[in-house]
Each structure stands twice: as structure tokens, then as C-alpha cells.
Amino acid sequence: MNIPNSYRSITARSKLTEYLLNTEHKRGGTKAKLLLQFDYSPNHWEQLELDIRKFHLTVDVNLIKETAYGSRYEVSANLLTPINRPLLLKTIWQIDTGRDFPRLITLLPN
């Protein structure tokens, strides 16, 4: 099963540029350092967004959890990175209570 309504998913630019691709971010810095090694960068954040959509929103969900905020979906899959090397990541998406589209919460090395 894919994430419901994945074609309507939201990936906030700030989630990518200020968190996942920001080496100075308290929690995202380690993730950013990893992503930079695979040639993702804040200046070209759109590439990370496109790759996440292409490789994570088109595969089966690994885990679904109900939370106080909505339904969470975990997906583990490789991205084919800009340097043509695979990078195994887990993305976590949430469909907030009262909404019908997923939004990216975070990604983690897998």
C-alpha cells in the first residue's frame, strides 16, 4: 500500500532548507552532512524533494502508526542520488487529523 493521496503530498521548502539540509541545525545537522556527501544542497533543495517524491511516494509503506496528531507512514527506500549512488533512507509522513493529504515530517538514514 502506498501513502494515501501521495500525489497531493506537501514537502515544505523550509523543512528541506532550514532543517534537513542545514548543517547548523541542532537535530538536522547530522542529516544534512550525510545528504551533502551525496551532492544534495540547500541551493538545489528541489532535487532532494524530487528524489523523495520519485523514490518514496511510489513504493509500499513499511509501517503505519496512529498518533494523537494523525496517521504516520514510514517508508524505507533508496534514493538514486545526484552522484548516481543509492542512499537508503526512511521518510516519515503524516496525514494530520481532519486532513486528507500527507506532509513530510522527517527523513532518517536507514
Write the CA distances from 65 to 55, 61, 74, integer angstroms: 21, 11, 8
In tens, the pLDDT along 32-82 reads 999 999 999 999 999 999 999 999 999 999 999 999 999 999 999 999 999
**Residue 56 and residue 78: Cα distance in Å, rounded?**
8
Name the 3-class secondary structure at 49: helix
Q: How confident is the model at residue 96 (pLDDT cuts 50, 70, 90)?
A: very high
Which amino acid would we find at residue 64?
Answer: I
CB of 60 within 8 A of CB of 1?
Answer: yes
| High-pLDDT (> 70) share of the chain, % | 100
Q: What is the mean pLDDT of residues 1-28?
A: 97
Note the pLDDT of residue 47.
Answer: 98
Q: How many CB atoms lie within 10 A of CB 8?
A: 11
pTM listed for this prediction = 0.95
In the chain, what are the domain boundaries? 6-109
CB of 36 within 8 A of CB of 16?
Answer: no
Q: And the C-alpha cell for 69?
A: 496528531
